[in-house]
């Protein structure tokens, strides 16, 4: 249950929130909510937007500050240089991501897949995943309708190459129609 993304070679892991100090450090908001993950990254890629060119940066040092990761990047030595990076999407090469334990997944493994119930009802495509204090929420869209599905408990039954299979509690879809 970490990260988001759309490109199979790269995974979107966060966003540059703001500069820190006068020596070029940046604060990064991790989409996974797991700022500790940034402590092991040696190289990241920054882009102005999801479809923009990704520029590689070496990570000279990293530490955690609250819910953010503080990074010192190679070549970024002043606050002014760090300010230019604010708002940039933070990407990793997929191969550089930490390994997953049983039952864990990356958000990028969900986005774009067909969402179906364990009874075979097609719900649409997973548009995005968002983190909340309680659990991740899947956004599934189909024919102009949007379902918000909590990924709590045993709702995610199976994830394969093409689809996400969900065991939905009774009434969840009906509640979504009122949104």
Instruction: State the average pLDDT over residues 23-51.
Output: 89
pLDDT confidence of residue 7: 46
- pLDDT over 90 for what percent of the chain? 47
Ranking 89-93, 161-165, 171-175 by mean pLDDT, the lowest is 171-175
DSSP for the chain, written as a single string: -B-B-S-SSEEEEEEEEEEETTTTEEEEEETTS-GGGGGG-SEEEEESSTTSPPEEEEEEEEEEETTEEEEEETT--SHHHHHTTTT-EEEEEGGGSPPPPTT--BGGGTTTSEEEETTS-EEEEEEEEEE-SS-EEEEEEETTEEEEEE--TT-EEEE-SSEEEE-PPTTHHHHHHT-
- What are the tens digits of pLDDT across the range 92-140? 998 888 777 777 777 778 888 999 999 988 999 999 888 787 888 899 9
Label residue 178 by pLDDT band (50, 70, 90). Answer: low
pLDDT confidence of residue 65: 95
- What are the tens digits of pLDDT across the range 55-78? 999 999 999 999 999 999 999 999
pLDDT confidence of residue 177: 64
pLDDT confidence of residue 17: 96
Tell me: pLDDT of 158 over 50.
Answer: yes
pLDDT confidence of residue 171: 84
Tell me: pLDDT of 6 over 60.
Answer: no
In sequence order, the β-bridge partners of residue 12 are: 4, 91
Ranking 16-25, 42-51, 89-98, 168-177 by mean pLDDT, the lowest is 168-177
- pLDDT over 70 for what percent of the chain? 93
Question: Domains along the chain?
Answer: 10-96 (2.40.30.60), 110-177 (2.30.30.240)
Label residue 142 by pLDDT band (50, 70, 90). Answer: confident
177 φ, ψ (degrees, to nearest 5): -65, -25
């Amino acid at each position: 249950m970490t990260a988001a993304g759309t490109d199979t070679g790269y995974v979107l892991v966060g966003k540059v929130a703001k500069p820190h100090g006068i020596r070029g450090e940046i604060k990064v908001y991790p989409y996974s909510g797991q700022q500790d993950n940034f402590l092991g990254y040696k190289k990241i890629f920054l882009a102005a937007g999801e479809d923009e060119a990704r520029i590689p940066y070496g990570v000279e040092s990293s530490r955690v500050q609250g819910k953010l990761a503080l990074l010192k990047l190679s070549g970024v030595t002043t606050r002014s240089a760090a300010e230019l990076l604010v708002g940039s999407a933070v990407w990793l090469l997929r191969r550089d991501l930490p390994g997953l334990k049983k039952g864990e997944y990356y958000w990028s493994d969900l986005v774009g897949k067909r969402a179906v119930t364990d009874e075979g009802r097609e719900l649409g495509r997973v548009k995005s995943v968002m983190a909340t204090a309680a659990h991740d929420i899947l956004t599934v869209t189909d024919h102009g309708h949007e379902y918000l599905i909590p990924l709590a408990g045993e709702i995610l039954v199976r994830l394969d190459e093409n689809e996400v299979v969900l065991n939905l509690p009774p009434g969840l879809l009906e509640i979504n129609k009122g949104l």
